[in-house]
Amino acid sequence: VRYRDAGNALEVLTHSDELALRGRFTDALNELALEGDLHLTHWTGADGPVLTDRDAQVRLQLAFGGEDGAFRITEGEVLSGGVPLALTLEVLPEGDADRLDLRANGLGLDLGRVVALLPDAVRKPLASYGMDGEADLALHYHGLVQGEGPMLSVGMQVREGRMKERSTGITFDHIGGDISFDLPPSGKLERLVVKGLTARSTGGSVQGDLELAGLKNAPLTLALNSDIGLADLLRFARVDTLEQVEGRLLTDIRVKGRLRDASAIRVADLKALTIGGTVAFRSASLKLKGVRHRVTGLDADLRLNGNDANVTGLRAELGGNTLELEGDLKGLVPYLLFQDQQLTIVAHGRSPRIDLATLLQEGEAQHGTTGAYALTFPRSLALDLQAEVEELVMEEFLATDVHGRVQLRDRVLTAKPVTFNTASGAVLASLTLDTRSPDSYPLAIDASIEGIAMEQLFAEFQEFGQDFITSRHLRGVTRAQVDLDAPLTPDLTLDLDRLTCTLDLRIDNGHLTGHQPLIDVAEHLQRNKLVSPFVDTDQLRRELADVSFASLENRIEIRDRKVIIPAMTVHSSVMDINLSGEHGFDDRIDHHLDFRLADLFRKGKADDDFGPVVDDGTGMRIFLHMYGTAADPQFANDGAMAAARRKAQFDQEKQELKSILKNELGLFTPKDRKDDLPGNEEGPTTPTIQVDWGDADSTDLATPERPRKKKGLFRLFEEEGAPQETIQVLD
């Protein structure tokens, strides 16, 4: 038998293998008894199947042909899938249409068998669960046959129900409550009411009420109370994003409002809802798939306020690091319910100790080693955190009393300002790290350093990846201003080709101990046959092995894979050294240094019978060029540096002399000011002073004697100072 309504696409197709009929037909009323089997092939609406492939044994009493023109099943029994139902039916003409009213009910039915009979839209989401228990069922199929078609309303009361998730075996029992829903011809759930729902598992219990009155502009009321094990709840709900879960969840949630479209809820629809209540975690542990670290010992209290939540007393361990948090979780509800939604954490965080290496470690490290690092920030997370960390470590680096504001927006991390203590000193810094590119993370650091112990700093940073100067060699207290820009790779490796850094540095009370390249200066002088007879190189070697200096200042730059040290003077306990140079990341060096030969001759205290000897900076100097590699430095005489020094000193003295002559004698004064000069009145001719700077080509002056070429020992050194100017007085 096939029934089809072209107007609403309703179609019912049935057949019977064996059917017995008997009846009585009169002009007033026709009565028919029907008994046999009935198979429903399909029942479809405009949007697809409502019921398919159902078998039943039926015993029906039919009446039709009366004065009202109605067709009725006055008494009926249906046995389908082991579920016995009493059934009545009435079809009455209503204008040009027919109104259908079918009712079926059963008491004390098997819950699992009842669910198997339900329409596909209700049954399929429950296919992963085995069910049993007792249920009372009432069905009402009603409405005009023409037009959109009738609606199916289902009401069910469940007692002592039991549901088992098939893959995990997690079971909820003692399920009870009243459930009702409406299913329109489209087959989409339209109204759902759950009252007095209770369920219990080995880990706790759940109670709740739900009422959703319709699909469009539908009023919604929800109440949910629970005290249950997280593992039972999430595994029963088939949440597959977790590898490990334990602990307890306590909820007291209330939701009320109106949904624009219950069948297609959007994020914006949540704004029309009033969401309140509390959520608490107790001794919870979670590990998400694809996430390296496990959250353990989670205790937190959340108070819901619309889409947001205020969290207090959150305490957890992440990768073995204890974290405490208080603040707001903005957008928490849409973040949990929808994909691609952002969670913004605005909070105050504290920790007694954070080990960054364990948090950034990509995999399990072997004992005694450090694994590779990896850093990624999720697109869906934003952060504005006032952070306090008592102790922050990263391999050998140790910082204490860390305070700062940490922000994360669109995967750009900003820490500004941040203060901490390290290496017996203090640091004030700001940091920006942009992780939006998959290949390169631009990093910018601006820091002020005060009172840092150099030997501790070098040790904490593992000698900065070099062994030219290490914590074994350098001691002192430093202050500095650091400006660094460099891209990082996702495994936190610096891109040395694009690294730039400016370091304004001052070191006080410095000591350089056992620095072999400096000791090698004595070795070089010992091999010099012209110098070694006049210098106690063994004593010099011992002194260079332990050099102290009161203060050192310079601006050091890093660029093009080189550390660039501009010219500076180091006043040390051994000698005063002028030095400059470059140190490549490949350990190639190019250093220039010079010092007075007299410093090598000095013995004992610098004084005489008239008091302390004051160093006037004059005397012959040794200029050395140190080059090659840090492991095997080479030395040579540095003639170019000597010439540059002579020229610089000559230019300086030339300017000083000009200034003296201008201020004292009025030379080099503009012509229009001559009348203002003292002694310019009419009178005897005053003497004229003529200055010969040594480069004029005047033939009026005597040509000075050409200096003799130095020989022997003296050809290795240059007498410090510029050529002497000559002054002639003309009558």
DSSP secondary structure, 573-608, as one string:
SS-EEEEEEEEETTSEEEEEEEEEHHHHH--S-SEE
β-bridge mates for residue 557, sequence order: 502, 564
109 plus 38 within the same structural domain: yes
Please give the average per-residue pLDDT across 650-675, as a whole number. 65
d(CA 57, CA 45): 24
Q: Is residue 194 part of a domain?
A: no
9 plus 157 within the same structural domain: yes
**Model confidence at 696: pLDDT above 60:** no
What is the percentage of the chain residues whose pLDDT exceeds 70?
A: 85
Please give the average per-residue pLDDT across 17-26, as a whole number. 91
Please give the average per-residue pLDDT across 347-363, as a whole number. 89
**Model confidence at 576: pLDDT above 60:** yes
Please tell me the least confidently modeled range out of 61-65, 361-365, 396-400, 512-516.
Answer: 361-365
The confidence band for 375, taking pLDDT boundaries of 50, 70 and 90, is confident
Please tell me the least confidently modeled range out of 13-27, 44-58, 269-283, 419-433.
Answer: 44-58
Report, in angstroms and rounded to the nearest whole number, the Rg of the chain calculated over CA atoms.
47
132 plus 43 within the same structural domain: yes
pLDDT digits (tens, 9 = 90+) for 141-194: 999 888 778 888 999 999 999 999 998 899 999 999 999 988 887 767 778 899
pLDDT digits (tens, 9 = 90+) for 703-731: 444 444 443 333 333 444 433 333 333 33
Long-range Cβ contact pairs of 542-545 (< 8 A, separation 24 or more):
543/573, 543/574, 544/515, 544/518, 544/519, 544/574, 545/513, 545/514, 545/515, 545/519
Q: Is residue 47 part of a domain?
A: yes
d(CA 415, CA 408): 9
Long-range Cβ contact pairs of 273-277 (< 8 A, separation 24 or more):
273/220, 273/306, 274/306, 275/304, 275/305, 275/306, 275/307, 275/333, 276/304, 276/305, 277/251, 277/252, 277/253, 277/303, 277/304
What is the percentage of the chain residues whose pLDDT exceeds 90?
A: 40
13 plus 76 within the same structural domain: yes
Q: Is residue 125 part of a domain?
A: yes
Integer angstrom CA distances of residue 442 from 432, 469, 502, 585: 8, 28, 17, 20
Rounded to two decimals, what is the model's pTM? 0.73
Q: Is residue 563 part of a domain?
A: yes
Contact 418, 446 (CB under 8 A): no
665 plus 623 within the same structural domain: no
**Model confidence at 300: pLDDT above 80:** yes
704 plus 627 within the same structural domain: no
467 plus 515 within the same structural domain: yes
Q: Is residue 559 part of a domain?
A: yes
Token pair listed for 412: 């750009």
The confidence band for 619, taking pLDDT boundaries of 50, 70 and 90, is low
**Model confidence at 236: pLDDT above 80:** yes
Residue 649 — φ and ψ, nearest 5°? -70, -35
Q: Is residue 551 part of a domain?
A: yes
**Model confidence at 57: pLDDT above 50:** yes
> Where is pLDDT greater, at 109 or 52?
109
pLDDT computed for residue 665 by the predictor: 61
590 plus 713 within the same structural domain: no
465 plus 529 within the same structural domain: yes
The confidence band for 465, taking pLDDT boundaries of 50, 70 and 90, is low
**Model confidence at 418: pLDDT above 60:** yes
Coil, helix or strand at residue 230: helix
pLDDT computed for residue 191 by the predictor: 82
Q: CA torsion angle for 460, 466, 467, 472 (degrees, to 10)? A: -20
Long-range Cβ contact pairs of 605-609 (< 8 A, separation 24 or more):
none
Instruction: Give the other-Cβ count within 10 Å of 275's Cβ.
Output: 19
Determine whether 287 is exposed, middle or buried from the number of CB atoms within 10 Å of its CB (0-12, 13-18, 19+).
middle
Question: Domain count of the chain?
Answer: 3
456 plus 545 within the same structural domain: yes
656 sits in which H/E element:
helix 639-665
pLDDT computed for residue 325 by the predictor: 96
670 plus 592 within the same structural domain: no
Instruction: Give the other-Cβ count within 10 Å of 730's Cβ.
Output: 8
pLDDT computed for residue 704 by the predictor: 45
673 plus 550 within the same structural domain: no
Q: Is residue 147 part of a domain?
A: yes
Please tell me the least confidently modeled range out of 230-234, 240-244, 277-281, 718-722.
Answer: 718-722
The confidence band for 366, taking pLDDT boundaries of 50, 70 and 90, is very low
Domain extent for 28 = 1-165+177-186
